Chain A
């Protein structure tokens, strides 16, 4: 084994052991999944709680729709109250303020009018809840349609048949090859992976940077650069910190898989129904792609973070110099929505080829079926070539920067280091 590689591995082992042994590491590894479980549970709990048992007043100025609407909503588990048709808006607002009701729905006398005057309006403190919107929309639609039908002298039995709900399954996602996955589930998995990668890069990339800075502040750097090549030092550090990160991810993914697998049961314990859609198993190809981008994405960013750490001499200074890297990551995070909306869109194709963002975006594009294996190979090749270039530049900055104390280098000095 070449000396440089052996040194890097010895250093990697030290970095790995120091991290894995720390209480911080154990705590995050165990508490991380709890956070993930909370991520699954809390929204479901909130949605469930928000809709059921909503107390609303029905102000029906027409006097026709109040009773059927009240019946519909009661069937959904709501607690509607029909109030006198001339109740003033201000009084209802006061009741919301006093927390007597969540909201009130106002049906105008001219509810048959399709213009603004005929609008049925709901005002409430829970209006931002998607479930409230859905429940009310369905209930009002049925009540209005039934009343219209009756006025058109349609036979009530026929009317009920017509109004029966269409049997529509939840939308399913497919790339033309598989069809078992539901759209929501693919989306959740892709988002989850991008989110984990973002966390790993920020957690461990920053960890690499801080550990470089600490070597300078504790002055152990001089001993280290006298003993090994700076490049071995940098490589070993990135490998060791990355190894610790990998252990953590594997632990999280395992626990995450279990959580998702037993999602319905878990939700059931908390009295929430409707986890519903089963998540599709991640096929082998997708798994390989995800791991490849994990590893390469980490190397790409960790190398940049290491170089940044070598440029500064105190932890406070890192805040500013890491800003550009943070910005790059944030841009990637902002583009997640774009990729999930249009996995085959041209902007998506471009973004998933650029090495700054491909690690975060390409796994999502691939899982959502927007990328062919060739696309992935090209994107990976670009990413790998970029890592080699960045590592070379970073090693030069590192070599000179690690023993610089005091002022930060200017852009010109940095360029000179790169040519050194």
Chain B
């Protein structure tokens, strides 16, 4: 399979602190790939190494099936850095075209595409304004345009949603969808799971510099769902009483919980975790056999947020302070 990016055994140390510790992952072409992790997990450091800002201490990075990070690769990569920053005294159109030119476009082509992007992001009327006269949100859009002006094969977005209002977040999601449709690849990092979940095909969860989980979101969710969390809704109190015996069977049900949401006052809702080896079919058959009146029987697919919290743990989410150098 052709890959937009292959990262193998990546290590980066800052003094005694290991920021990235033996991380490997592969990004197939044409997917939206999310690197997820709490603050200080090593996401930005990893993306910076892919952009040849830092040199890794160990491991290798291969961009677009054969390029090493650096000058040749830079023409095919678009980058939205975590540290947003533009030349404050430059005019909006000049700034975008400038980066386009440095990413390998001819001057005329850079100008032409700048016009197109200004139009697309609704910035045309601001083209001749200095960057410093723009609002933060509009500066973000300009920054986004600098990452896309040269239509790169691989678009790398570091924390793209930070500082975006809901409307601009929507614009960003649409653009990412468009890139996917055109067969190009997006790699982004975030700790905002709700945004990520709407977009990603594949994810890699990292924490404290180490990889915890990698794969397609659908696979991961299926796998986590197979761990067996089932939401039940009973028709009435009698049905609930009738279900008690079935739910007490440790061969089928490992644990019975009060559901997090939609808990009815009369206790007609509940959530159970299946015992190892038990299946949802078994439970359903047992409930039906016991004559339990069911309103709802749902295999709960965990949200990305739940998976993330389960894997990373709430304690790790409070990251240690990052060293100054990162």
Contact = CB atoms under 8 A, between A and B. Distances in A.
Interface of A: 3-4, 7, 10-11, 14, 18, 22, 218-223, 225-229, 403-407
A220 B101 CA distance: 16
Given A11-B102, A227-B79, 7 more contacts: A3-B71, A14-B94, A18-B90, A220-B87, A228-B71, A403-B54, A404-B325
A1 B98 CA distance: 18
21 contacts: A3-B71, A7-B102, A10-B102, A18-B89, A218-B86, A220-B85, A221-B85, A222-B81, A222-B83, A223-B79, A223-B86, A226-B48, A226-B52, A226-B77, A227-B79, A227-B102, A228-B74, A403-B54, A404-B325, A405-B324, A407-B324
Contacts, number: 65
Interface string B70-109: 0100100101011111111110001000110111000000
A219 B74 contact: no
Give me the 10 closest cross-chain CB pairs, A-B, nearest first.
A219-B85, A406-B324, A220-B85, A226-B51, A219-B83, A222-B81, A222-B83, A226-B79, A227-B102, A218-B85
Interface residues of B, number: 29
B114 interface: no
B150 to A, nearest CB: 10
Contacts of A227: 74, 79, 99, 102-103
Most buried by B among A3, A227, A407: A227
A345 to B, nearest CB: 48
B189 interface: no
Interface string B266-287: 0000000000000000000000
A418 to B, nearest CB: 16
B217 to A, nearest CB: 28
A219 B89 CA distance: 14
> Dominant SS at the A interface?
helix
A18 B146 CA distance: 19
A233 to B, nearest CB: 10
A10 B71 contact: no
Contacts of B88: 218
Given A10-B102, A403-B53, A404-B325, A229 B90 contact: no
Interface of B: 48, 51-54, 71, 74, 77, 79, 81-90, 94, 98-99, 101-103, 143, 146, 324-325
B84 A219 contact: yes
Contacts of B81: 219, 222-223, 226
Contacts of B52: 226
Given A10-B102, A226-B52, A226-B53, A218 B87 contact: yes
Most buried by A among B53, B82, B146: B53
> Dominant SS at the B interface?
loop
Contacts of A3: 71
B258 to A, nearest CB: 48
A4 B104 CA distance: 11
Contacts of B83: 219, 222
Contact of B71 (A18, A221, A229): A229
Nearest to A226: B51
Contacts of A7: 102
Contacts of A404: 325
Given A14-B90, A220-B85, A228 B324 contact: no
Contacts of A403: 53-54
A228 B72 CA distance: 10
Contacts of A14: 87, 90, 94, 98
A223 B86 CA distance: 8
B61 to A, nearest CB: 14
A222 B45 CA distance: 12
Contacts of A223: 79, 81, 85-86, 99, 143, 146
Contact of A222 (B53, B74, B90): B53
A230 B85 CA distance: 17
Contacts of A18: 87, 89-90
Contacts of A405: 324
B89 A222 contact: no
Contact of B74 (A11, A22, A226, A406): A226
Nearest to B87: A220
A11 B87 CA distance: 12
Contacts of B89: 18, 22
Nearest to B132: A218
Contacts of A22: 89
A228 B53 contact: no
B85 A10 contact: no
Nearest to B77: A226
A114 to B, nearest CB: 72
Contacts of B84: 219
Most buried by A among B48, B101, B143: B101
A416 to B, nearest CB: 12
Nearest to A224: B102
A18 B83 CA distance: 23
A225 B98 CA distance: 14
A403 B325 CA distance: 8
Contact of A10 (B77, B87, B101, B143): B101
A221 B90 CA distance: 15
B86 A220 contact: yes
A156 B181 CA distance: 114
A392 B102 CA distance: 23
Nearest to B156: A226
Contacts of A4: 71
Nearest to B158: A222
Contacts of A225: 53
A22 B88 CA distance: 13
Nearest to B103: A227
A223 B83 CA distance: 8
